[in-house]
C-alpha cells in the first residue's frame, strides 16, 4: 500500500512537507489508467482506415449531352452504318439517326 501512496501526483506542496494518502494515490492511479486507455483507443481509431462511399444520382435526366465523333468506314456503304447508344444506367438506343451526318468517302483505289 505504500507504493500506491507514493504515486500521488497532485500534491500542492513539496513531497517532504506532505503526507501521501491512500485516496490520493488511488485517484492518481485511476486517472493515469483512464488517460492511457483514452490515448490508446484514440490512437487505434486514428490508425484505422475508413472508406466512405457516396453515390448520388444525376437529377437532370432531361438534359442530353452533345457527343462529337468522326468515323471513317472505307468499305461500308453509308446506309449500313448505324449508331447505338448505351449509358451506365442501362438505357440502350439502337439505330440513332437524329443529327448524324453521313458523308460518302471517295472510292479507295484498288
Residue 67 lies inside a defined structural domain of this protein: no
Residue 37 lies inside a defined structural domain of this protein: yes
Residue 55 lies inside a defined structural domain of this protein: no
Residue 8 lies inside a defined structural domain of this protein: yes
Residue 85 lies inside a defined structural domain of this protein: no
DSSP string, 48-102: S----------S-TT-----------TTS-GGG----EE-TTS-EE-S--TT---
Residue 24 lies inside a defined structural domain of this protein: yes
Residue 109 lies inside a defined structural domain of this protein: no
Total count of domains within the chain: 1
Show the domain range for 24: 2-47
Residue 20 lies inside a defined structural domain of this protein: yes
As given in the structure block, the three cell numbers for residue 44 are 487505434
pLDDT tens for the 110 residues of the chain, in order: 777 767 766 666 676 777 778 888 888 899 999 999 999 999 999 999 888 898 887 776 666 777 888 888 888 888 888 888 888 778 888 887 777 888 887 765 55
Sign of CA dihedral 91, 97, 99, 101: positive
Amino acid at each position: 500500500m505504500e507504493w500506491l501512496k507514493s504515486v500521488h501526483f497532485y500534491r500542492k506542496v513539496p513531497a517532504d512537507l506532505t503526507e501521501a494518502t491512500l485516496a490520493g494515490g488511488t485517484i492518481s492511479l485511476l486517472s493515469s489508467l483512464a488517460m492511457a486507455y483514452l490515448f490508446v483507443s484514440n490512437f487505434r481509431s486514428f490508425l484505422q482506415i475508413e472508406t466512405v462511399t457516396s453515390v448520388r444520382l444525376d437529377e437532370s435526366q432531361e438534359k442530353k449531352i452533345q457527343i462529337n465523333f468522326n468515323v471513317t468506314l472505307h468499305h461500308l456503304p453509308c446506309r449500313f452504318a448505324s449508331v447505338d447508344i448505351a449509358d451506365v444506367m442501362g438505357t440502350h438506343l439502337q439505330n440513332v439517326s437524329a443529327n448524324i451526318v453521313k458523308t460518302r468517302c471517295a472510292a479507295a483505289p484498288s
